[in-house]
Structure 1
């Protein structure tokens, strides 16, 4: 079979685009904005070439059958994983100044404290949480702190587990922090244009567990157990109202009674679900599962 050259692959017909959008929506809860059409068509064209399919109809049939993990590869291609260390630092300050004290007030020394970064992209957020706790929470050694990073993008999770980052990801870190928690990596292809990279030290890599999980999948969410704090930042803005309500229910179930969820600064749980209690802590708003409930 001879596949068309990249430039020869036609734009998706309106009906095909609509069918594709509904397929992705049912799997992920994500809706594509009209301005994202070009990105969607490029990613579909890339996957068609990789899958060896000549037409969209052939590729879509392969997607629906999903005999070779093509849905996983497609989702990996469509998700955006732009992030960096210490992003939205004000929430990390709140974590150690307020949330950890509230969480451990109902625990004993040695008890587990569970924190979930969901979605975690390529790992910058869960590793940032680990670094921040080590640097700013004196009680860190009194409890069994478990940090889990989850994402729907398995390629991003593989990168997170490796823990290798370039300059942009580290731009908010001081040289002192980089020196303590990262080791420089030798360039894969040494040369004047090789970009420097640093890898998280092994001890810190071992402190974070990564697992694939879809925010819209109740069973997958429940399999991770309950958490004291969940960071779910800057993802609900990509959902429609129905998907947001489903996600909110799943996040509620993922919290231990009295636990907290942290959203992105443009997101508000108050407009999505009545289940959570709004907590205003200094310059941060977080959302709490009430301690007294029947869940």
Structure 2
């Protein structure tokens, strides 16, 4: 039984983490006990159930997807800000996009837009950062159609991404003149991304480990999937890598977080060394 200051028993923790792993691919070790206990406690307190066993039984048998979604929202980490690890955005503009255009030919005759996916996109800082860098610094933006998509497993952060209002901490790296051009003050020191940019970002709810659902994502030229694979075990990481591979066009590029390496997960991507660091590519001739 879960209590305000007690937490889960070892048996209950094991049962719960197995369940959560099967539904999300995220594995919590005993080192995360305090984090998990607190958030499950929140879920139980917010429900009509008075104990963990009653709540957990309902979660597994009630057929109510909102219970699982609340749990996912509680247990996923969403620490981000604008222009984070921006050396990879430098690589996107200086090397990756020029290579994509060279491979696809004259922009005026290209079949379809350049497609970029941010997964997980959290509260939206990453896809909006990509849009800002393109608008401010890419000299081809007026000639090339670009689609930017964001996806996340957490419905609550997607709602925040759609609203796109941010405070000082999230915006601390955004240049003042960009803030003036692309944001609207909304009070309390917060700013909202301009409507035209919000309308250009398509948001989706998606679990990167759900192979069947990920089939809806295809033909992306670039995917940013940063700082999420570190939360997966070997099996989930491999499944996620295969889903990302399928979502890319042949020749498409994958950016991982600075502490992540695809070479430790799967051999299906080709590592490409750029001045700014490593990017992973689906081989151009792959089918």
Q: TM-score range by the shorter chain?
A: over 0.9
Q: Secondary structure at the match of 2:170?
A: coil
TM-score, normalised by the number of residues in structure 1: 0.92
Change (3 A) 1:8 1:122: closer
After TM superposition, the structure 1 = structure 2 runs for residues 176-215 of structure 1, keeping only pairs within 5 Å, are: 176-186=177-187, 195-215=188-208
Q: Deviations over 1:22-58 (max 9, x none)?
A: 1111111111133321111111011011111111111
Aligned twin of 1:265 = 258
Residue 94 of structure 2 is matched in structure 1 by 97
Using the alignment, how far apart are the partners of 1:167 and 1:264 within structure 2? 24
**Structure 2 CA distance for aligned equivalents of residues 87 and 197 of structure 1:** 19
Give 1:228's aligned residue.
221
Q: 1:136-285 alignment to 2 at 5 Å?
A: 136-186=137-187, 195-285=188-278
Which stretch of the first structure deviates more once superposed, 80-89 or 110-119?
110-119
Q: Does 1:58 align with 2:54?
A: yes
1:189 alignment partner in structure 2 = none
Superposition deviation, residue 67 in structure 1: 1.7
Render the CA deviation track for 1:124-161: whole Å, top value 9, x for unaligned. 00000000011111111222200000000010000000
Indicate the residue corresponding to 2:18 in structure 1.
22
The answer as to whether partners of 2:82 and 2:170 remain within 8 angstroms in 1 is yes
Which consecutive aligned stretches of 4+ in structure 1 deviate over 4 angstroms post-superposition?
none
Candidates 29, 36, 43, aligned match of 2:32: 36
The Cα RMSD (Å) is 1.5
Q: Is the 8 A contact 2:117 2:224 kept in 1?
A: yes
Q: Secondary structure at the match of 2:161?
A: helix
Query: How many residue pairs end up in the alignment?
Result: 282
Give the conservation status (yes or no) of the 8 Å contact 1:98–1:281: yes
Q: Report the equivalent of 1:113.
A: 114
Contact 1:119–1:151 at 8 Å: present in 2 too? yes
1:127 aligns with 2:128: yes
**Gap regions ≥5 residues in structure 1:** 187-194
Q: 1:69 aligns with which of 66, 69, 72?
A: 66
**Contact between 1:276 and 1:289, CA under 8 Å: does it hold in 2?**
yes
Contact 1:9 1:45 in 2 (8 A): no
Structure 1 stretch displaced more, 27-36 or 71-80: 27-36
Contact kept, 8 Å, 2:155 with 2:205, in 1: the verdict is yes
